[in-house]
Amino acid sequence: MGENLTIIDIARLAGVSKSTVSRVLNNEPNVKPKTKEVVLRVIGENGYLPNEMARTLVKSKSKLVGLITPFQCRSFYRNEYFRDVFTGLSNVFKAQAYDILTASGSGVELDTIKKFALTYHVCGIVLLYSIPDDPSLHYLVDNRIPFSLIGACEGFSDINQVTYNFRAAMREIMETLIRQGRHKIAFFASDTGLATTRAYLDGYTTALAKAGLPLLEHYLAGGLDDEAAVCTAMERFRHSGQTPDAVIVSADAICLDLLRYCRRKGIRVPGDLAVFSLENGPSNEILDISSLDLDYIEMGALAGKMLADTMQTGKTNRIELRHRVIHRGSSLG
């Protein structure tokens, strides 16, 4: 039934009265738990959250904010980005007496969002990432559920978003490496399907085209979530005689895995291989790793403030912060 689903349809499918459905939608206490479960399941299975329910949830007494963590949980806990963003969010929501309810998207973020809204009655949702033409964003927008998005997105406007110009940042890094004579530059990413990673890739390909260098697909490696995956990628290059002279990595955890591999194999950094991280964690200055400096804590704090404002006023905002590229010993030379 999709968007044509009405309270009458819900009642018929659930085998209850219209008034019972209304009580469930308004989260009234005088509904048997089993009946409530049936009604909510009918709504969930039909993939539609009526706008009147969205308005009810926004006005509910819940002080919960839903936060969806990435599908790759192992990568999540090794990633400076997600940890720092969570810190910024926590600081804001704690001050405003909101609690954060976290759940893994598990590859089906839309299902998690529906569970947040229908079961836990969250008053808003924070997304740490998006994909092109994201069904989760469509759902949130269509049903007027307050949310904030952190990072890049494709195909949406007039939403709460805190982001950077990831394309410009990657172009700047690439152009510096190319000026140093590095022409075989690989990009190691954890998830190439994310909108932010796609923005980085756009900057990567633009810089190559501007320099008249070919785009070699084998230098684009995705799904690198642990040291074994990094080693496999580097060994594949070595055996094919196509070892890169520079590698840009999407996260500090991947960077450390790469540096350990180089040390074991006697690869000199930066002499044989320049290394650049798109994160700037605390260890990078100590280890002299070139980095893209993005303030993830500020991103989280701003996203939290935006969401709180939207829940009060209904207005949305977009902020694009300024990046900083830091060149250190791992890429200079």
The CATH number assigned to the domain with range 166-294 reads 3.40.50.2300
Predicted pLDDT of residue 304: 97
Distance between CA atoms of residues 195 and 150, nearest Å: 11
Q: How far is CA 127 from the centre of its chain?
A: 6
Instruction: State the sign of the Cα–Cα–Cα–Cα dihedral 260, 261, 265, 268.
Output: negative
Predicted pLDDT of residue 276: 98
Predicted pLDDT of residue 2: 47
Assign domain 2-164+298-323 to its CATH superfamily. Response regulator (3.40.50.2300)
Domain spans of the chain, in order of start: 2-164+298-323, 166-294
Could you check whether 2-164+298-323 and 166-294 share the same CATH topology?
yes
Query: What global pTM score does this model have?
Result: 0.79
Q: In terms of C-beta density within 10 A (0-12 exposed, 13-18 middle, 19 or more buried), how is residue 82 classed? A: buried
Distance between CA atoms of residues 278 and 325, nearest Å: 9
Distance between CA atoms of residues 101 and 116, nearest Å: 8
Phi, psi of 205, rounded to the nearest 5 degrees? -70, -35
* Sequential pLDDT tens for the chain (333 residues): 444 567 788 888 889 988 888 777 776 777 888 888 888 778 767 655 555 444 444 455 468 999 987 655 455 556 778 889 999 999 999 998 999 988 876 556 888 888 888 888 899 999 998 989 899 999 999 888 999 999 999 989 899 999 999 999 999 999 999 999 999 999 998 888 889 999 999 999 999 999 999 999 999 998 887 889 999 999 999 999 999 999 999 989 899 999 999 999 999 999 999 999 999 998 999 999 999 999 999 999 999 999 999 988 889 999 999 999 999 999 986
Predicted pLDDT of residue 73: 47
